[in-house]
Amino acid sequence: MKLDARIPSGPIEKAWDKARFDMKLVNPANKRKHTVLVVGSGLAGASASASMGELGYNVKCFCFQDSPRRAHSIAAQGGINAAKNYQNDGDSVFRLFYDTVKGGDFRSREANVYRLAQNSVNIIDQCVAQGVPFAREYGGALTNRSFGGAQVSRTFYARGQTGQQLLLGAYQALERQVSTGTVTMFPRTEMLDLIVVDGQARGIVTRNLITGELDVHFGDAVVLASGGYGNVYYLSTNAKGSNVTASWRAHKRGALFANPCFTQIHPTCIPVSGDYQSKLTLMSESLRNDGRIWVPKKKGDKRPPSQIPADERDYYLERRYPSFGNLVPRDVASRNAKHVCDEGRGVGESGLGVYLDFSDAIARLGENVIRERYGNLFDMYQRITDENPYKVPMRIYPAIHYTMGGLWVDYYLQSTIPGLFVAGEANFSDHGANRLGASALMQGLSDGYFIIPYTVGNYIANSKLDKVDESHPVVQEAVAGVKNSIHTLLSIKGKRTVDSFHRQLGKIIWDECGMSRTAEGLKKAIGQVRELKQEFWQNVNVPGSGSDLNQSLEKAGRVADFFELGELMCIDALNRNESCGGHFREEYQTPDGEAKRDDENYSYVAAWGYNGPDSEPTLTKEPLEFEYVHPSQRSYK
């Protein structure tokens, strides 16, 4: 297979304008005759559904939660980037584009990133108009803060709840369309298969999580906006329900999966406290604006932080990266935290933690200013740890947070299956090997508000689709397959719970395909994952039935997919014999321990094709070309 990203020709600044002008349009009166299925109701899914509903399409939107407002975009804290240059500090569309390509360690597609930077300014306008209560100056203007990997202040925020406010904006726009009848919402509904007829995506098989009924929904196009796969690690900052199932089932139907090993470890999370732990809680990266990160200089120094004098503290990020200091990108900050902990200088009971200290900022700005900026985060920290971060430094440790990899899409966000579009974190397109802070919200909304409504329309206008119904053999086969796998899971009645398998899988992936990776470890992990997968299918215990609310059954289906994805992640990480962004192969580093890329051999997107449960996946490469931002070793020194 040859991958064609369909990037418009000509200068990058004009690419999106040209693409939009070349698109075919659907007559306004005909739009309601076309059905678009949107899976997921987070920033990308809700904004795409609302915008296509406004245009007049007949939209059906699906989410597994009880309401679209619960989607995990809601938990994003820090902010959203936009090249508004309101601060007059030298920002521009080109600079945001440049920072994002560089931040992604030159493994993203330039044209997509440029369009993202262009759209960023419209996103802020749209959200303000919807009533998103962004932080303001006394004069009434919008205010900004800075984030990792950038030297300008371009991050817009609503306290530490930016994701919540942006999602509620999109959710409200979605509900407005629900009230006008253009969008039909299907909450507590999970997509379990994709229906592909004559090579085109034509529908989905869903399970009603309350009644267990399977349904088939047909459409002219399917948009997956089902988020990332960080929960493969079991412990992550993702919501407990976040899963890869929709993407993975599409992958099994022929959509290529790109760069699965590109996962992001967020440097500032609350450290793990025990075996029962079910998830990790993020402390926004914005805290690094005012907090200073340090560990004791001495190994095994057990004194409380207040008794360690300044000259016995190692502010290691400020020492190693004087120009970016505590605001280095996430991958760099995480690796350095791991490094000092591996040296035995970690803090807290487990030794897996570093201090994030606000005492200097409080002395400089006063407690009130810090409370205003981060109050809710400080409260949350205190609720969880029972320590007061105004008095004692926070303890933080990296945790898995975001996945840059995802289904392969072209410039039009269409996967390798025509009619199947992928938006937001579920696609691979914009962040390369590392995502900069405050860029996930930007991408989700750019895809949903400003790209999908155009490109899906263009696809519909160009397609002649025959009617399909439930009698089609492809549909019957898909429904039977879903029924069968539910039946199998329920009838194994083994000895281990789904969670115990998931925990064990997560530990394998975290140990061998987490913050640092080696060829040897990855090979070992592949073997272990395969073995564990086999045991899962013989020894899992899923209680209850398939005809009512059965949360164990839901989890079992998702974990079954995580096994297959986890294996692919290790295969991809093993294939990529270089270090870049979040993918750090210990064999490939510079003398001072930074990631060492191999542009000659690995400047490509690795897109994997599914060949059945017992066959090796096929690798297809999309070469990356850098015309505007020349690859260099990323330096934040």
Q: Which of residues 189-218 bind another protein (CB under 8 A)?
A: 210
Told to check if 23 binds another protein by CB under 8 A, we report no
Told to check if 227 binds another protein by CB under 8 A, we report no
With contacts defined by CB under 8 A, name the span among 246-254, 433-441, 549-557, 576-584 that binds another protein: 549-557
**What is the size of the binding site for another protein (CB under 8 A)?**
82
From residue 556, how far is each of 384, 542, 559 by CA, in Å?
Answer: 29, 7, 5
277: left (phi over 0), alpha (psi -120 to 50) or beta: beta
Please list every residue from 257 through 316 that binds another protein, using CB under 8 A. Answer: 273-274, 276-279, 281-282
Which of 17, 89, 213, 379 touches another protein by CB under 8 A? 379
Which of 119, 126, 268, 620 touches another protein by CB under 8 A? 126
From residue 379, how far is each of 199, 306, 347, 375, 389 by CA, in Å?
Answer: 52, 21, 21, 6, 9
Which of 18, 32, 89, 133 touches another protein by CB under 8 A? 133
Q: Which helix (H) or strand (E) holds 404?
A: none
Q: Which lies closer to another protein via its Cβ, residue 64 or residue 257?
A: 64
Please list every residue from 154 through 193 that binds another protein, using CB under 8 A. Answer: 158-159, 161, 163-165, 168, 171-173, 175-176, 178-179, 185, 187
d(CA 218, CA 203): 4
With contacts defined by CB under 8 A, name the span among 46-54, 214-222, 519-527, 583-591 that binds another protein: 46-54
From residue 493, how far is each of 209, 497, 536, 544, 552 by CA, in Å?
Answer: 21, 10, 11, 10, 12
| Bridging pattern class, strands 58-62 and 183-186 | parallel
Please list every residue from 465 through 484 that binds another protein, using CB under 8 A. Answer: none
Told to check if 392 binds another protein by CB under 8 A, we report no
Q: Which lies closer to another protein via its Cβ, residue 462 or residue 545?
A: 545
Told to check if 384 binds another protein by CB under 8 A, we report yes
Told to check if 92 binds another protein by CB under 8 A, we report no
Residue 276, Cα to own-chain centre: how many angstroms? 25
Told to check if 492 binds another protein by CB under 8 A, we report no
Q: Which lies closer to another protein via its Cβ, residue 237 or residue 263?
A: 237
Q: Classify residue 326 by its DSSP letter.
A: G
Name which of 105, 106, 111, 120 is nearest 152 in CA terms: 120
Q: Which lies closer to another protein via its Cβ, residue 63 or residue 327?
A: 63
Name which of 192, 223, 86, 48 is nearest 483 in CA terms: 192
Residues β-bridged to residue 496 = 540
- Report in angstroms how near the CB of residue 10 gets to another protein at its nearest: 24
Which of 57, 106, 114, 134 touches another protein by CB under 8 A? 134
What is the chain's length? Answer: 637
Which of 23, 135, 352, 461 touches another protein by CB under 8 A? 135
Sole residue written with tokens 């509904």: 189
Which of 21, 28, 88, 139 touches another protein by CB under 8 A? 139
Q: Are 435 and 402 in contact (CB under 8 A)?
A: yes
Q: Which lies closer to another protein via its Cβ, residue 84 or residue 251?
A: 84
Which of 31, 70, 202, 597 touches another protein by CB under 8 A? 70
Residue 7, Cα to own-chain centre: how many angstroms? 23
d(CA 57, CA 36): 7
Sole residue written with tokens 């253009």: 182
Sole residue written with tokens 């020349």: 630
Please list every residue from 429 through 458 that binds another protein, using CB under 8 A. Answer: 449-450, 453
